[in-house]
């Protein structure tokens, strides 16, 4: 009765029932799992123009500001940029399969 549901069609790794995939997934299939981007870093960092660095907001600015000096509060209000070492690590964490 339901025999047509039990028949399966074997497809090549780069094929789907709707045609070829627009990207290569052979490394994903060989590894057996997908790499995921780091959600915490994704929420904190934004790419600066050209993807040469990343930027984020400073921490410790949201509350308990009465005990902080005005100069410190102004400094904490500025944008923080990633160092070259952080940029290298963030590219691997945020873009595990590359930018393309």
- Residues 65-88: pLDDT tens digits? 999 999 999 999 999 999 999 998
100 located within any domain: no
Range of the domain at 32: 3-94
79 located within any domain: yes
32 located within any domain: yes
Residue 3, burial from CB neighbour count under 10 angstroms (0-12, 13-18, 19+): exposed
CATH at 59: 4.10.410.60
Please give the tally of structural domains in the chain.
1
- Residues 33-74: pLDDT tens digits? 888 899 999 999 999 887 689 999 999 999 999 999 999 999
> Looking at per-residue confidence, does 27 or 64 come out higher?
64
99 located within any domain: no
pLDDT at 97 over 90: no
What average pLDDT does range 7-14 have in this prediction? 54
């Amino acid at each position: 009765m339901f025999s047509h549901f039990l028949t399966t069609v074997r497809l090549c790794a780069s094929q789907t029932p709707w045609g070829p995939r627009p990207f290569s997934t052979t490394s994903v299939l060989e590894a057996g799992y997908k790499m995921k981007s780091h959600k915490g870093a994704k929420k904190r960092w934004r790419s600066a123009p050209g993807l040469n660095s990343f930027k984020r907001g400073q921490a410790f600015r949201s509350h308990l500001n009465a005990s902080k000096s005005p100069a410190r509060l102004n400094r904490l209000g500025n944008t923080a940029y990633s160092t070259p070492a952080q940029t290298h690590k963030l590219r691997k964490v945020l873009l595990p399969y590359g930018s393309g």
